[in-house]
Structure 1
């Protein structure tokens, strides 16, 4: 039976997991708001600077199934502490690095830690509370993404405008260390549960058709999102007269939208998960269209970024719930496959967007992102129509 004290302690643990997610997300996406000054400081193009996101995503995606399987007997609190240690040291190296290759090396190593956290973090939050509260705990933990985009990434952009991009990463190194202390103080021991060997991890999407379908749709919309979002600052600078302060404001608008989308989806997914996911991706398509057509105006940019944030926040919560529904008994293993697809798509999206931006223009990168998010939505709509035709009933 729960007592008020145990309830408070459980939710404090969820809050610390949320803070961990905030720290990982801001570290991963901080370069998005700093591409221009980083490129200027290190003498590289915007597209090459985007490799800070690409390599981070590559290691986060490709390494996670192996590391999660190899650490399947490691206590999850101890593992999270190790991951935050890597993050603190990596951000410190980034801040003091004398050259770009060392920056990329640090980002590559931090990416491995990020991927493992994504595989275990949400499930840790869900285990800290009673089973009937697990969905709410997942939504709270995932709000760390929204908090990162509302406060973390814009704050990093603002700090850079006052000091330098190096100071921003130095501050985030200290933040990583503080969250590490909080994990040690608040999160209880969590022995590993339902982790499986490497070969079984990779076999999951082959044997589990619903999980495979989720991964395909997730990969497409994440590819599209990051092909465009990685270069949102250069796009706004190229297509409208904006200041760094206004860009920070727009990123706050985007993040606030993400918080709203996450909150709303926390309720609508219990009513119709498949429909919520489809509507969220339709919102991504609409947001990119708005950015391309009216994003050169101040109201247009605000509307586009707000809708973009709402839609992406909702889509992220949906895809976590769909992964859980597809593989409830092997959730950590399924999340490692999810993380592989998600972060590899981040890397490829940033890479392909960067190539498009350098070879053509940043506007072309946004068009490329639009095409991929549209493909994700169409894939679902076509599959549902085929299912309805074949069975006479719509499948989720």
Structure 2
């Protein structure tokens, strides 16, 4: 009997279902940690691979590119496969990616490893919410989603500062190696805790195209891309700024990144508490606050105390941004949630890709100040497109 045939089913006890939710939350934490570790390890990775910091920043953009492709294709190419099989395969790809990156002897192998991670990121996130809906009854969905995004908040809080600190002590390769046993444990947990999840109706591109033909949805999708693009143009190259402008050593760097990450818990709590029926006025808030914090960094970047406060503000809004825009999506594309989810994941990952590419070009061609200025320009574009937010709402 195969592992999947003997796995628990949806008719089993709630304990089995919550175990599956927890295994997915751990996968989220490991995915976020794996995806953004290069942010805190950018300088030593560039030196170890004999590349520029701008080139090494493309380790994030390449994963974003493949995440875009995977998010759009996973529900069509793998549409008839058992969802448990797909999630297990995605986790196995994450393990393979970490091994390749940790062992990379040159820039090309690093890019291959990061491309595999991108497939995992896009595939997992495109399916995550739909799978959670099948693991727990509808009344338990808020709790289940809170657990899932809790994994994201934990990784955002601790992955960067711990990665920076351990990278300074042992080397950047050892940080990636340290994640591999955790991913292996998560893989086994998926196999034992996830019930069999046979595919339902196959998703096609028609539903996605239909959504893109709705002007309000297309405007919202574009505005969300500009908001995330602004964030990642700055965030991808934060370490060179903190080292070159603020003058942070490894210890201070880790503390500043920890302040940014810990503020994310506050942002998640605040967004869950204050996002109400009126979503329109909140849509420009992420770009406004995060763009303002980036401008503050340009003006006050030599003061580590000011930088710490600004990064905390930025980090709180960074996690709140996901809640705001996903709430917008659920309320304005509720008739096609899977198609909307795939498009949102693709949009976010495209933003990560473009942010890393644009920021890298500006860093290598001009300066770190130019990179941060580019982030501010994207934030202003998002604010201008959103306006009062009403043109991004579904007509009543």
TM-score normalised by the chain length of structure 2: 0.91
1:175 corresponds to 2:178:
no
Q: Measure how far apart 1:201 and its partner are.
A: 4.5
Corresponding residue of 1:225: 231
Q: Does 1:123 align with 2:138?
A: no
Q: Is the 8 A contact 1:194 1:329 kept in 2?
A: no
Contact 2:281 2:389 in 1 (8 A): no
Residue 274 to residue 133, structure 1, CA distance change in 2 (3 Å): farther
1:124: Cα distance to partner?
A: 2.0
Per-residue CA distance 1:205-253 (angstroms, 9 max, x = gap): 3234443232111110111111110000001111122111211111111
Aligned-residue Cα RMSD (Å) equals 2.2
Check 1:37–1:328 CA distance in 2 against 1; reply closer, same or farther (3 A cut). Answer: same
Distance in 2 (CA, whole Å) between partners of 1:20 and 1:394 is 33
Aligned to 2:377: 371
1:178, 1:224 → 2: CA distance? 35
Q: 2:56 aligns with which of 49, 52, 65?
A: 49
SS of the aligned residue for 1:270 comes to coil
* Aligned-pair CA distance for 1:150: 0.8
Quote the residue 1:244 is aligned against.
250
Shift of the 126–295 alpha-carbon distance from structure 1 to 2, 3 Å rule, reads: farther
Consecutive unaligned residues in structure 2, runs of 5 or more: 1-11
Aligned match for 2:69, one of 45, 62, 65: 62
Q: Rate the CA distance shift 1:230–1:284 in 2: closer, same or farther, 3 A.
A: same
Residue-by-residue CA offset, 1:163-222 (whole Å, 9 max, x unaligned): 11111111122221111112222222233345412x325413323444323211111011
What corresponds to 1:278 in structure 2?
Answer: 284
The farther-off stretch of 200-209 and 36-45 is 200-209
Residue 78 of structure 1: how far off its partner (Å): 1.6
C-alpha change, 1:211 and 1:183, in structure 2 (3 Å) is: farther
Task: Tell me, yes or no, if the aligned pair for 1:281 and 1:312 is still in contact at 8 Å.
Answer: no
Compare the two structures and name the one with the higher helix fraction: 1
Could you tell me whether the CA contact under 8 Å between 2:26 and 2:151 is conserved in 1?
A: yes
Structure 2 equivalent of residue 94 of structure 1: 101
Q: Shift in Å at residue 98 of structure 1?
A: 1.2
Q: In structure 1, the residue corresponding to 2:302 is in which secondary structure?
A: coil
Q: 1:143 aligns with which of 128, 150, 160?
A: 150
Which segment is superposed worse, 267-276 or 144-153? 267-276
**Does residue 78 in structure 1 map to residue 60 in structure 2?**
no
User: Normalising by the residue count of structure 1, what TM-score does the alignment of the two structures yield?
Assistant: 0.91
- Please report how far the alpha carbon of residue 80 of structure 1 lies from its aligned counterpart in structure 2 after TM superposition: 0.7
1:162 aligns with 2:169: yes
* d(CA) in 2 for partners of 1:339, 1:308: 21
Mean CA deviation greater in 299-308 or 147-156:
147-156
Instruction: Say which SS state the counterpart of residue 72 (structure 1) adopts.
Output: coil
Q: Which residue of 1 aligns with 2:320?
A: 314
- 1:90-147 CA deviation, whole Å, 9 max, x = no partner? 1001111211101101111221121111111133224322213323432331232221
Pairs aligned (count): 385
